[in-house]
Chain A
């Protein structure tokens, strides 16, 4: 792991622009941005300044398997938000966000498709095919999904990509 270089920060900033300009700093604040190379992808992490300083100066960096909060993966210009990256982004922006009712939230956490009638509200700029942040009625982001069709709609509306139920199913 190592601190992200300027070019990597710029790549990530560009990838985040669909959620809003200048989001990178607020997204990671008060932490620092680090990367782990996982070819062909780059994984981004938010580290507290102190552990970042420690790792930058010592052998610990080479030996660390991971550090900080995993945010996202960037591969060939495509951004994949990880669970904590989506959660933290959801605290900073309302863009590309879909609120679902509590029943749908429960199903979404099992990796189930969300039906159109379960959607309470949606960012008006979201288009079919977009990756959206899926939030419960309290605004807490539970994961990401792909918007299947324009809303309001009957039938499947949100196809899960990553949901926090992953922590029970696979996370350990």
Chain B
């Protein structure tokens, strides 16, 4: 069995005539839909979820206000907040006006981010006093969670190569009261020039974004050719990670795509190198039940190929199972050396 497919290999699943007809009627690429049906359970429910309005979540920010007090203030203004299993994360079920236009938002007392995006920093588990890198940090939602986990004490390095998004990153970090971060404008690989050994790294990699179709309907027409470009970018970041981490350091790799080429197959390549081990997610993440469902394990068989069984330790959040945007997360440990 080929456990190490070429980096640029794209898995093609021929769509059935019925699937093709349905896809064309609903503005989806038939090739994408056929792939999703191959990889994930209950295709119909997934497609229905991808066509629905995404839920709105907020994460209350303890760096800028007591979360209970913030929740109380929002409820007093007429917002209906439903707690979730994720600490400090609420499902905003009713908004008398935009949740992004409140005084509390401007004071940094909460951040608007999908529940799925909080999972990656929780999986990384940063602690006070550590040196942590967020290699694709903009616009900063995950970095703010990391700073909170670090209790605003430590060294958090945030990189992003998009100048416009770097400004947003700086702005969000300041608004939310983060004192322990330094911002670098440039690709995450630039961290190698700093001469630092990180305790932990987060790579929330640029990707084809299939999991965020609800927010960006243009992604319904994704082309298979995009996978190769994204996979190459992701591989470059992952290759840099080994040199950036101290021996035994922790890496969390995450994406918001459903494509195995960008998720499991990327990690397969890393596991084959022998330089990383794929760890179980921390219990607080592994035992999560969102939408009354446990996280969906990483795929260990893709298009007839068996992959490393350790990939089942990674996890997917799927819109139809978990009520969030689509997300993939895996936790790895750098070997010695």
What is the interface of chain A, defined by CB distance below 8 A to chain B?
31, 46-51, 53-55, 58-60, 63-70, 83-84, 87, 105-106, 109, 136, 140, 142, 164-165, 167-168, 171-172
Contacts and interface: CB of A to CB of B under 8 A. Distances in A.
Contacts of B180: 47-48, 50-51, 68
Interface in B110-132: 129, 131
A122 B313 CA distance: 59
A64 B179 CA distance: 14
A142 B181 contact: no
B157 interface: yes
B168 interface: yes
A63 to B, nearest CB: 6
Given A59-B193, A69-B174, A168 B185 contact: no
Given A65-B185, A69-B179, A60 B153 contact: no
Contact of A70 (B168, B169, B174): B174
Given A64-B184, A68-B179, A105-B103, A171 B156 contact: no
Nearest to A68: B179
B193 A172 contact: no
A171 B172 CA distance: 8
> Which of B165, B166, B171, B195 gathers the greatest number of chain A CB atoms within 10 Å?
B171
Chain A facing B: main interface SS: mixed
Nearest to B106: A164
B232 interface: no
26 contacts: A47-B179, A48-B154, A48-B180, A49-B153, A51-B154, A51-B155, A51-B179, A51-B181, A54-B182, A59-B193, A59-B195, A60-B184, A60-B194, A64-B184, A65-B170, A65-B183, A65-B184, A67-B181, A69-B178, A84-B175, A84-B177, A164-B106, A168-B101, A171-B167, A171-B172, A171-B175
B190 interface: yes
B118 to A, nearest CB: 21
B182 A172 contact: no
Contact of A83 (B154, B168, B174, B182): B174
Given A54-B155, A59-B195, A64-B183, A106 B103 contact: yes
